Amino acid sequence: MKKQEINNLSVAELQAKLGELTNQYAELKHAHAISPIANPLQLRTVRRAIARVNTEISKKDLQ
Domain count, the chain: 1
User: What is the CATH number for 37?
Assistant: 1.10.287.310
Percent of the chain with pLDDT over 90: 76
Q: pLDDT tens, 14-32?
A: 999 999 999 999 999 999 9
Does residue 63 contact residue 34 with C-beta atoms inside 8 Å?
Answer: no
pTM comes to: 0.90
Residue 4 has pLDDT above 90, yes or no: no
Structural domain harbouring 11: 1-60
Predicted local confidence at residue 32, as pLDDT:
94
Opening angle at CA 41, ends 24 and 52, nearest 5: 60
